[in-house]
């Protein structure tokens, strides 16, 4: 993940300052899961995606005396909207009554187009 946070601040008085920033976050999602196929070679499910998310931050700084400062910060939530497509690899074999590790049933050996899976948190 990478976050870019351009910020600006303003001194309201000599004792009080406020600030704000934009949070531009870039995230990468990669996940590999083994699939146990009883009686057949094991398979693998891969999910890969990347996404930009946006948020903001606000800050307040108060100087109580020359040696003491108190600050408050608020950070908004940044949502990275990953919509990974599943990839079960190239089909190698088929089973008469179903799909095994991405291989279409009934001998159809054409690669199926990946379908979106549910949204990831």
pLDDT score at 100 = 45
Question: Band of the pLDDT at 103, cuts 50, 70, 90?
Answer: very low
Q: In angstroms, rounded to a whole number, what is the distance separating the alpha carbons of residues 29 and 32?
A: 10
Which residues have a Cβ under 8 Å from the Cβ of 57 and sit 6 or more positions away? 5, 7, 20, 21, 23, 73, 74, 75, 76
pLDDT score at 70 = 97
Q: Provide the residue ranges of all domains of the chain, joining segments of one domain with +.
A: 2-85
Question: Band of the pLDDT at 110, cuts 50, 70, 90?
Answer: very low
pLDDT at 113 over 70: no
pTM (predicted TM-score): 0.55
pLDDT score at 68 = 95
Residues 80 and 54: beta-carbon distance below 8 Å: no
């Amino acid at each position: 993940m990478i976050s870019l946070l351009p910020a600006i601040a303003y001194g309201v008085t000599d004792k009080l300052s406020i600030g704000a920033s934009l949070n531009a976050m870039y995230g990468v999602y990669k996940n590999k899961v083994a699939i146990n196929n009883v009686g057949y070679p094991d398979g693998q499910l891969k999910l890969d995606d990347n996404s930009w998310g946006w948020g903001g931050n606000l800050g307040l700084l108060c100087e109580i005396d020359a040696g003491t400062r108190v600050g408050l910060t608020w950070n908004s939530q940044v949502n990275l909207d990953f919509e990974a497509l599943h990839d079960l690899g190239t089909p190698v074999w088929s089973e008469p009554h179903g799909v095994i590790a991405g291989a279409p049933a009934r001998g159809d050996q054409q690669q199926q187009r990946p379908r979106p899976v549910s949204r990831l948190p």
